[in-house]
Copies of this chain bind each other. A is one copy, B any other.
Amino acid sequence: MENLDTTFAALAHATRRSILSRLMQGESRLSDLAKPFNMSQTAVSKHVRVLSDAGLLTIEKRGRTRHCRLNAEPMKQATDWLIDYQAFWTQQFDNLAQHLADERE
């Protein structure tokens, strides 16, 4: 789908974020991806499906294995959306700085 809803929803789960950061180090087979997690491979497969639907990774069928590769592009759109708020999360520091500056006078 690759809209903001599905991107953010895909990122809203520690297991899936963990899968993505794993894929930063290079592509991985689905079975290898599943190993670190204390859940069935079917469950991991479902998470991978969610990430795939969100366009955050691509799956390549190779023999009997599936190879997953990171596709971070949708994250850019999510980041772009968030960046608009940058002024607001720095604001409180600015306010604090202003407050301290005022106090010194």
Contact = CB atoms under 8 A, between A and B. Distances in A.
A11 B8 contact: yes
Given A9-B9, A76-B89, A82-B75, A4 B17 contact: yes
A24 B79 contact: no
A12 interface: yes
Interface residues of A, number: 32
A92 interface: yes
B9 A5 contact: no
Contacts of A12: 4-9, 11-12
A13 interface: yes
17 contacts: A4-B11, A4-B12, A4-B17, A5-B13, A5-B14, A8-B9, A8-B11, A11-B82, A12-B12, A17-B81, A24-B84, A24-B88, A73-B92, A75-B82, A75-B89, A76-B89, A82-B82
